[in-house]
Amino acid sequence: MLRLIEGSIAAIERQLVLVAPVQASSFDGFTNVTNDTAENRRLIDEMQRLRGSIYLDEGNLTHDELTADGRHHTPEDDKSWHLLMTDEHGHVRSCALYLLHENATSIQDLRVRHCPLVQSAESRRQVTHAIESEISRARRAGQSTQDRAT
């Protein structure tokens, strides 16, 4: 049983990939770092194609909102950390984005401003208040505001 657990942990370690934003210059605290621009670009392109196919399947966007090769590219992609789960062949199967914002961030600086709940007249006030409350809480705690998406 212990070997099975150890094997599973080893497989997860091989399948979890953290891709740093292009401008990241320090990797202190990381022990297994590979600086491979071409591989990072491949992973991000594949992640964007996966995201594009999911958004398309769910009806959240149309084909003309994707790149010619089916990617859903956002300006935040180049500034974000991406935690990717790959399969045994190195293909991206899931992803999470982490984008750090400065403490002076407002809701207008966040991707959530495009969310249908923020756009809807019925829910805008309530959702905006909840987001602004979280930003205020983070400021009081001395934390930066974060954008997270999966």
Instruction: Tell me what pLDDT residue 104 has.
Output: 67
pLDDT digits (tens, 9 = 90+) for 3-51: 656 555 556 666 888 898 888 777 777 777 787 889 999 999 999 999 9
pLDDT digits (tens, 9 = 90+) for 75-121: 889 889 999 999 989 999 999 988 887 766 788 888 888 888 888 88
Instruction: Tell me what pLDDT residue 2 has.
Output: 60
Q: CB within 8 A of 105, min separation 6: which ones?
A: 135, 144, 145
Instruction: Tell me what pLDDT residue 143 has.
Output: 60
Instruction: Tell me what pLDDT residue 45 has.
Output: 96
User: Phi/psi of residue 73, each to 5°?
Assistant: -100, 135
pLDDT level of residue 150 (50, 70, 90 thresholds): very low
Instruction: Tell me what pLDDT residue 22 has.
Output: 80
pLDDT digits (tens, 9 = 90+) for 40-80: 999 999 999 999 999 999 998 999 999 999 999 998 898 89
pTM of model > 0.75: no
Quote the CA–CA distance of 7 and 109 in Å, as a whole number. 43
**DSSP β-ladder status, 92-100 and 146-149:** antiparallel
Q: Which residue has the higher pLDDT, 45 or 137?
A: 45
pLDDT level of residue 138 (50, 70, 90 thresholds): confident
